[in-house]
Every structure is written in structure tokens, then in C-alpha cells.
Structure 1
Amino acid sequence: MTRIRSLSLLFATTLSLSACSSKKVEPGMYTGFLQDYSVLTEHQAPSGQTILSWVSPQLTRGRYTQVYLAPSQFYPKAEPTERIPQSTLSSVTGYYDAALRSELGKVVHLAPKPGPDTLVVRPAITRVAASTQGLRFYEWLPITLVAAGVSTATGIRDQDSEIATEVSFQDGETGAVVAEVVRKGTGVPLENDKQVMTADNLKLVLDGWASDLGKSYAAIHR
């Protein structure tokens, strides 16, 4: 009986670790920001990470000569908490905008408003949260599971800083959606469930997203 219980705990822990390490946004996390989620399929971003995306077959190379970057927003509207205050939320969207502007500005002219031959990029932050990290390999052994469980219960385990985005790309003249992207990332961990999250915990993720977008645009513009 003891052996069976230990194996059950190990199996449950393995499933928990797999769930926490997933980089794919599950359908239950879709927010309604995008026009059509049914067309999304898995692709590899320039960074090598797996994302969900769709590009209209009518989108031809070189179609757009400039980009209008709409200000990023939280969707649905984010409510500040003690751990994720308004200052953090504002800093996240501000940094995301700056990173996107910097990377896109390297490869295309940034337009002041939508118009002909302009690709409109509408980014949204759809999730910012902290979740307890999954158990590490050395914690799978039954003798350490109890200690790990106590650490989780008392809130002293490291916590992942999570963030997700949905981006809609539209024709600047007609408003037609020509591409969509959904992805998520994990930033710098928090030390416990009391530490306040700041934009610094998420900047590397935002930088990576912006870099991928710039490289993707450069690829379809050639």
C-alpha cells in the first residue's frame, strides 16, 4: 500500500510539473480579444519558442510599407492587487510598447496613424499572474514530498511570474484582420507568495516577444 501511494504521489507530481512548464496558451485562457481563435495553429517563433498564430493566405510579401503600433492594453481590464499593483500594470504596458516600438522601428517605418499600405499592430496583455513553481526533480522522492508540501502550504516556495499576450494585425485601410498571435511566457521568479511583482520580473519576456515580432515582420516584408 505504501509503495502504491508513493507511486501515486510521484505520478501526480509529474503531471503537475508538466502543466506548470507548458508554454502553450490553452483555449480556456482565450479572452475574446481576437476575431477568430479556431484558425490558430502551432508555429515556431524566430526565438524557437512555440506560439499559436495565423496569417491570412492573402497577406503577400511586401504588402505593407509601414506599421502603426496601437498602444498595448490589458484585456480584459486588469484589477490591481497588493501583489500586482497599478504601478506594475502601468509599467508592463509601457515597457511592452517601448520594446515593440524599438524592435519594429529597426525594420519598418512607424506610422503616426493607420492608413493605406499600413499594417496595424494591436497588442493586448491578457494575463499577469504568479503561480507556485512545480516540484523539481529532486523533490519527487517520497521522503522529500512532505517537506515540499509544507513549503507550498506556508507560501515559501518560489513562484513563477506569468504573462500572456494576444496580438491582432489589421489592414490599416480596411480594418480586415490579416494575422493573429497568442503566446505566454514566464519571467523572473518571485521568492514567495508575499513578494510584489514588478515590470522587472517580466522585461525579458517582453523583450523576447518584441524581438520575435520584429524578425517576423522582416521575414514577410522581404
Structure 2
Amino acid sequence: MKLKPLAVVLCLATLGMAGCSSKYVAPEEYSGFLKSYQLLKEEKSPSGEAVMRWIKPGVNASQFTSVFIEPSQLYPKPQPTEKVPQKTLNGITTYYDQSLKTQFAKALPLASGPGPRVLVVRPAITAVSAKTKGLQPYEVIPIALVAAGVSAATGIRDQDTSIATEAAFLDGGSNEVVAQVVRKGAGAELDNSSQVMSANDAKAVIDGWARDMVKSFEALKK
């Protein structure tokens, strides 16, 4: 893993100060799941959320007559923690698959595999974290599971949860990448440091991602 630039370290050291954090995923947080990140630009999703996105110029979305959702991945493979156990990770990917299929089925028939005129959606969950609200975590490891260490004195405070995704969209006939997106979102708050994060805490964020992906596709068709 590459070392973060000094400016990033200084920013993290003052986490919580106005102007330091960003709703966009920063380059040092990219997981390596996508083949290239150079063309990503700061954009707004159809729902108005911050995303890093690239769409191939001139792509004809109308050429796709069905869609294949590849099983979502956890990338890189994380180590479960007491705060974010394996059951939660499995639940998040399972729900991501379900939500993508539900939303895309409103726009295109679901295909059983890639092929000509098939849009392939290749998604990954690249970060899941939980940290004490208003406090900086003891470690910042993007693209990994992060559970902030808290003392008994601060354990009663609410905990913020967050999740990030990267997704590639491919032409199922040529295997050419036609679009990419990187984004993150805030999950449900946990009551305290002893509460374990569950997949339910991320469902609203995941549903929003899936809806935005479909709306972006439909906008391209117009």
C-alpha cells in the first residue's frame, strides 16, 4: 500500500475540523478494484450525492437490451472485526446484489451472463467502518475494515458508520469498460461502541447507490 501524502496525514490529524473532510472519495482511498482511476471526475449523482465518475464519451446506452449483475465483491478481502463481523460483510454483499437486480430490472431484463448487447455491472464494497461520532479514529485505513478504538468513557457516544463502493460497467460483448463510479455514504448510527454493525445499517445507502446507477443509465439513453 502506498504511503499517504503528507497533506492527507495532516488532514486526518485534524479530522472533524471544518473543510478537511470531503464527501468525495479521495485518490488515496481508491482500492485498486478498477483498472484505471485517471479519468474519474467529481460529479453529482441523480440524487445529488457526491460521486467520482467516468462515462465513455459517445457511449450508446440504447445498444444494451439486458443487464447482468456480477456478484459483488469485498475488495481487497478484509479481516472481520468484533465491530464489523463476517456475518455483516456477507449480508452487505448479498443485499447489494439484491438491490442492484431489483433496481436494474426496472430498466432492463436481467441476463444470466455477459454477451452481446448485455450491460455488465461489476460492483465491489471497498470500505466498511464504524467510529465514535465526533471523535477521530485511532487509525485510518481506507479500503479496509475500520473500528475506532474507544475508551469506556466515550463508549456511550453514538457511532458513525460508513461504506464505500467502486463499480465498473462493461459492454458484455467486447468486455470494454463504458463507465466507472466510486462513492461512499453514511450508514445508520450505532447507539454506542458496544453495538455491532449489521447489514441493515447499510441498506439505505446501498439502495440509494442502486437507484442512482439505474437513473444514470436511463439518462444516457435519453
1:206 is matched with 206
Maintained 8 Å contact 2:71/2:122: yes
Aligned length: 197
Is the alpha carbon distance of 1:13 and 1:71 closer, same or farther for their aligned partners in structure 2, counting shifts above 3 Å?
Answer: closer
Q: 2:13, 2:77 → 1: CA distance?
A: 34
Q: How many Å apart are 1:52 and its aligned residue?
A: 0.4
Maintained 8 Å contact 1:62/1:221: yes
Q: Percent identity?
A: 51
Q: 2:22, 2:67 → 1: CA distance?
A: 32
Q: 1:90, 1:194 → 2: CA distance?
A: 20
Q: 1:152, 1:127 → 2: CA distance?
A: 26
Cα shift readout 1:171-216 (whole Å, capped 9, x = no counterpart): 1011111110000000111122221000111111011111111111
Q: 1:125, 1:14 → 2: CA distance?
A: 27
1:14-33 matches, within 5 Å, as 16-18=16-18, 22-33=22-33
Q: 2:124, 2:190 → 1: CA distance?
A: 23
Maintained 8 Å contact 1:99/1:210: yes
1:68 is matched with 68
Is the alpha carbon distance of 1:152 and 1:214 closer, same or farther for their aligned partners in structure 2, counting shifts above 3 Å?
Answer: farther
Q: How many Å apart are 1:14 and its aligned residue?
A: 8.2
Paired amino acid for 1:189:
E
Structure 1: runs of 5+ lacking an equivalent: 1-11, 136-149
Q: 1:197, 1:20 → 2: CA distance?
A: 26
Q: 1:60, 1:183 → 2: CA distance?
A: 24
1:94-109 matches, within 5 Å, as 94-109=94-109
Q: How many Å apart are 1:134 and its aligned residue?
A: 2.4
Q: 1:153, 1:184 → 2: CA distance?
A: 29
Structure 1 runs (4+) greater than 4 angstroms displaced: 12-15, 150-153
Q: 1:48, 1:89 → 2: CA distance?
A: 27
1:183 is matched with 183
Maintained 8 Å contact 1:158/1:190: yes
Q: How many Å apart are 1:19 and its aligned residue?
A: 6.6
SS in 2 for 1:154: coil
2:41 is matched with 41
Q: How many Å apart are 1:79 and its aligned residue?
A: 1.6
Decide which structure has greater helix share.
Answer: 1
Is the alpha carbon distance of 1:195 and 1:15 closer, same or farther for their aligned partners in structure 2, counting shifts above 3 Å?
Answer: closer
Q: How many Å apart are 1:18 and its aligned residue?
A: 3.7
Q: 1:14, 1:152 → 2: CA distance?
A: 23
Q: How many Å apart are 1:131 and its aligned residue?
A: 1.8
Q: Please tell me whether residue 81 in structure 1 is matched to residue 87 in structure 2.
A: no
Q: State which structure, 1 or 2, has the greater radius of gyration over its C-alpha atoms.
A: 1
SS in 2 for 1:107: coil
Is the alpha carbon distance of 1:35 and 1:153 closer, same or farther for their aligned partners in structure 2, counting shifts above 3 Å?
Answer: farther
1:125 is matched with 125
2:161 is matched with 161
Maintained 8 Å contact 1:160/1:190: yes
Is the alpha carbon distance of 1:13 and 1:29 closer, same or farther for their aligned partners in structure 2, counting shifts above 3 Å?
Answer: closer
Paired amino acid for 1:206:
I
Is the alpha carbon distance of 1:131 and 1:102 closer, same or farther for their aligned partners in structure 2, counting shifts above 3 Å?
Answer: same
Superposed CA RMSD: 2.3
